[in-house]
Amino acid sequence: MKIQNICCIGAGYVGGPTMSVIAQKCPDIQITVVDVNAARIAAWNSEDFEKLPIYEPGLSDIVREARGRNLFFSTDVDTAIDRADMIFISVNTPTKTYGLGKGMASDLKYIELCARQIARVATTDKIVVEKSTLPVRTATAIKNILDNTGNPVQFQILSNPEFLAEGTAVADLFNPDRVLIGGEETADGQRAVRALVDIYARWVPAEKILTTNVWSSELSKLTANAFLAQRVSSINAISELCEKTGANITEVAQAIGMDSRIGSKFLKASVGFGGSCFQKDILNLVYIAKSYGLDEVADYWEQVIIMNNHQRQRFAHRIVKTLYNTVSDKKIAFLGWAFKKDTNDTRESAAIYVADYLLNEQALIQVFDPKVTAQQVYADLNYLNSRAEIDNEKSVQVHPCPYQTCQNVHAIAILTEWEEFNTYDWERIYQQMHKPAFVFDGRNVLDKAKLEKIGFIYAAIGR
Ligand code: UDX
Ligand code: ADP
């Protein structure tokens, strides 16, 4: 079976880049990315390629090449569903904020809406691909809805979790460590699996395309993220011990990373992991384990989150303690707001939590991030909303220039590892600050010796 027409529901951080790359690699396949968010679709269709709704290195060039040829962005969900042979579901699955499973389970309402819409609209057989991260056995729910509502057409459900990391999405899609495709172990299921394998095989070597049953695929995605997040929490736990003992976390990470059984990646101590996946996926794993009565399994993984929350908090606490136990009415500059470099995504970014803590201590915060808008910063703080009595618009200012951001501040906190921070004129920044001038490096990215020579008092995670 050869796929000619693809529809992707959800034009976000997963759907947008993934479909752009498939479109570039498969010019003979027509791809329509649809979304209910009209502003987002308009931004994808923008004539100015710098205005795409998602910032990813290399993405705008791909969209420039494929858009209008075989890549289309639209709000007409029904038409795109009806025309497609294969439908990717790439809608968001945030952690539930209400009811049963609140704060832990994934909210599958958008997934369910998609399934119902597909069932209502489809007049021909479809392969439905779960791209969003979903709790294990979600495919059963989707299949139930598809098979029991709407027209009598055949649906095959595949799980094809996305492993791309934001900031390196295009490179990860071009050159994935593996592509995972889970399908039913029936003849029809296997035919659907092959149709999707054939698409990836255009640019991914065969030995990197792994096929499994649907449940293994769904659970592998959660497990991969849980293991990665666990590494970050593990190194962060040791960073606190380093600060007490005089060991240096960068040296410790290098020393353990050279053990080939441990490996050197994902050992950067930080102010805490963020992003839309790690916390959500672990909470999901914890919730699933609990629902099967596996309390020890649940507690084991929950500790990864507890450690992460602790890391954010203790960074903020260290700032307050160092600034003579009070930050009331002191200005603190935040360099970086995104959850990591090379993305404009701020979901679960440590910066939000550190800012919240400091605002509770009555600090004034000035923010600069190369890719995050002021509107987004306020939206993030208002969403967290732990301080009804504090007016974020008064206490927080967002500047388009790093030098302006650091003017007259008592301290600078580095929240994201943007490379440009290293290239700034730190002499000039020093001149503009209150003395003593403090830098709290939450990402271990600045040159300690250089800053100390200028006169800064420098403190970093794990050092
Ligand atoms: C992650 C997974 O890597 C990806 O495979 C999955 O598909 C989605 O979730 P992402 O959230 O985009 O990707 O970013 P990732 O690079 O994994 O970083 C997550 C967080 O961990 C970031 O806040 C990052 O700064 C932090 N991190 C990462 C560290 O603090 N230290 C490290 O050594 C690595
Ligand atoms: P992710 O990181 O998983 O890609 P995003 O929030 O960036 O998450 O993107 C998900 C997109 O899915 C959003 O743009 C949202 O508007 C869209 N979406 C959610 N539900 C539906 C739906 N039922 N139909 C179409 N689009 C939807």
Using one digit for the tens of pLDDT, what is the confidence trace for 167-196?
999 999 999 999 999 999 999 999 999 999
Amino acid at 301: W
Q: Give the model's pLDDT for residue 184.
A: 94
The answer, yes or no, to whether residue 354 has pLDDT greater than 80, is yes
Nearest-5° Cα angle at 170, 132 to 354: 70
The answer, yes or no, to whether residue 309 has pLDDT greater than 70, is yes
Active site residue 427: no
Question: Which single residue is written with the structure tokens 């909470």?
Answer: 283
The answer, yes or no, to whether residue 389 has pLDDT greater than 80, is no
Residue 267's region, left for phi above 0, alpha for psi from -120 to 50, else beta, is: alpha
Of 215-219, 409-413, 429-433, the least confident: 215-219
What is the average per-residue pLDDT within 11-27? 97
What is the average per-residue pLDDT within 28-39? 98
Q: How confident is the model at residue 426 (pLDDT cuts 50, 70, 90)?
A: very high
Q: Give the model's pLDDT for residue 430.
A: 98
Cα–Cα distances (Å) from 30 to 59, 151, 216, 442, in that order, read: 19, 24, 30, 44
- What span, in angstroms and rounded, lies between the C-alpha atoms of 355 and 424? 23
275 Cα to the center of ligand 1, angstroms: 7
Q: How confident is the model at residue 104 (pLDDT cuts 50, 70, 90)?
A: confident
Edge to edge, what strands does the sheet with 438-441 contain?
396-398, 364-368, 331-335, 411-414, 438-441, 457-460
Task: Detail the DSSP E strand segments found in 311-395.
Answer: 331-335, 364-368
Q: Give the model's pLDDT for residue 387.
A: 60
Q: Which residues line ligand 1 (CB under 6 A)?
A: 162-166, 225, 228, 232, 266-268, 270, 273-275, 277-278, 339-340
- What span, in angstroms and rounded, lies between the C-alpha atoms of 310 and 356? 14
Q: Give the model's pLDDT for residue 392.
A: 86
Q: Which residues line ligand 2 (CB under 6 A)?
A: 9-15, 34-37, 40, 77, 90-92, 110, 113-114, 132, 276
- Ligand 1 pocket mutation, candidates 340, 345, 348, criterion most atoms within 8 A of CB: 340
| Token output for 11 | 């034009």
| Token output for 295 | 């309390």
- How many Cβ atoms sit within 10 Å of the Cβ of residue 77? 18
Q: Give the model's pLDDT for residue 383.
A: 84
DSSP code for 177: S
What is the average per-residue pLDDT within 47-51? 91
261 Cα to the center of ligand 1, angstroms: 20
Scanning 201-294, the segments in alpha helix (DSSP H) are 214-245, 249-257, 278-291
Which residue out of 56, 130, 162, 348 is catalytically annotated? 162
Of 138-152, 277-291, 357-371, the least confident: 138-152
Q: Give the model's pLDDT for residue 279.
A: 95
* Residue owning the nearest CA to atom 1 of ligand 1: 165
Active site residue 221: yes
Long-range contacts of 405-409 (CB under 8 A, 24+ apart): 405/333, 405/334, 405/335, 405/366, 405/367, 405/368, 406/333, 406/335, 406/366, 406/432, 406/433, 407/432, 407/433, 408/331, 408/432, 408/433, 408/434, 409/330, 409/331, 409/332, 409/333, 409/366, 409/433, 409/434
What is the average per-residue pLDDT within 409-424? 98
Nearest listed ligand to the Cα of residue 171:
1
Active site residue 56: no
Q: How far is CA 165 from the centre of its chain?
A: 7
Nearest listed ligand to the Cα of residue 106:
2
Q: Give the model's pLDDT for residue 388.
A: 59
Q: Give the model's pLDDT for residue 25.
A: 98
- What span, in angstroms and rounded, lies between the C-alpha atoms of 216 and 157? 14
Q: Give the model's pLDDT for residue 1.
A: 81
Q: Comparing 217 with 150, which gets the higher pLDDT?
A: 217
- Ligand 2 pocket mutation, candidates 110, 133, 162, 173, criterion most atoms within 8 A of CB: 110
Q: Give the model's pLDDT for residue 141.
A: 82
Q: Which residues make Cβ contacts (< 8 Å) with residue 76, sequence separation at least 6?
A: 34
Nearest listed ligand to the Cα of residue 162:
1
Q: What is the per-residue pLDDT across 326-351, written as a single tens digit (0 to 9) for each?
A: 999 999 999 999 999 999 999 999 99
Half-sphere exposure of 93 (CA within 13 A, CB side): 26
The answer, yes or no, to whether residue 155 has pLDDT greater than 90, is yes
8 Å CB contact between 427 and 447:
no
8 Å CB contact between 335 and 414:
yes
Q: How confident is the model at residue 132 (pLDDT cuts 50, 70, 90)?
A: confident
Determine what percent of the chain is predicted with pLDDT higher than 70.
98
376 Cα to the center of ligand 2, angstroms: 17
Of 38-47, 228-237, 302-311, 390-399, the least confident: 390-399
